[in-house]
C-alpha cells in the first residue's frame, strides 16, 4: 500500500553515512530519536534500519478491515512548534544535558530555544533559510559526530 511505498522511498534515499554516524554518536552516549511530522508507520522501517528505537511522529489509525480511521491528533508534531514540545519532553524524560536537533526544514529551525543547538542538514534540500538560521550546517551525516565532540 501507500505506507509501504513511502517507507520504501525513505529507505531507498537514506543518507549513506547516517547509520555509521548515528552508531558512533550512540556509542558515545547520545540518545537518538526521529522527530517528524510524518507518519509513524512509514518511518518505523527507516528507524529500524538506522538502529533508532525512539520515533516521535504522527500515528495513523485503521479500522479492523484495514480502512483509514484517522490520525493521532494529539501527536505534538502535527502542530506548529510541535518539535519544540518533543524537545522539552525528551530533555525531561532523558535528563539530557544537551538537546541537538538535526533537520532540513523550518520546523527544525523553530526548535531553537528548546533545543540547545539546531544543525541544518542539506544533502537533499539545501535551504538558504536553514543554512543561515542553523547553529551549524552539514551536507553529510559523516560530519555529525565531530560537531557533537565524538
For residue 1, the model assigns a pLDDT of 80
Q: Would you say the C-alpha torsion 74, 112, 114, 18 has a positive or negative sign?
A: positive
Q: How far is CA 9 from the centre of its chain?
A: 16
> Which residues, including other chains, have CB under 8 Å from residue 124's CB and lie 6 or more apart?
13, 15, 104
| 34, 52 Cβ separation under 8 angstroms | yes
In this predicted structure, what is the pLDDT of residue 107? 87
pLDDT at 25: 97
Is the CB of residue 91 less than 8 Å from the CB of residue 62? no
For 23, the grid coordinates are 552508531
Q: Which residues of the chain have pLDDT under 70?
A: none
Give the pLDDT of residue 2.
86
Nearest to 91 by CA among 111, 75, 108: 111
Amino acid at each position: 500500500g501507500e505506507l509501504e511505498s513511502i517507507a520504501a522511498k525513505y529507505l531507498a534515499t537514506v543518507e549513506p553515512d547516517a547509520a555509521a554516524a548515528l552508531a558512533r554518536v550512540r556509542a558515545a552516549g547520545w540518545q537518538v530519536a526521529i522527530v517528524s511530522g510524518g507518519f509513524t508507520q512509514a518511518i518505523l522501517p527507516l528507524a529500524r534500519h538506522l538502529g533508532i528505537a525512539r520515533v516521535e511522529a504522527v500515528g495513523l489509525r485503521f479500522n479492523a478491515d484495514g480502512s483509514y480511521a484517522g490520525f493521532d491528533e494529539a501527536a505534538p508534531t502535527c502542530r506548529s512548534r510541535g518539535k519544540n514540545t518533543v524537545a522539552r519532553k525528551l530533555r525531561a524524560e532523558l535528563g539530557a544535558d544537551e538537546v541537538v536537533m538535526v533537520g532540513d526544514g523550518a520546523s527544525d529551525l523553530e526548535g531553537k530555544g528548546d533545543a540547545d543547538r539546531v544543525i541544518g542538514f542539506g544533502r537533499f534540500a539545501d535551504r538558504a533559510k536553514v543554512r543561515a538560521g542553523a547553529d551549524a550546517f552539514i551536507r553529510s551525516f559523516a560530519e555529525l559526530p565531530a560537531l557533537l565532540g565524538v
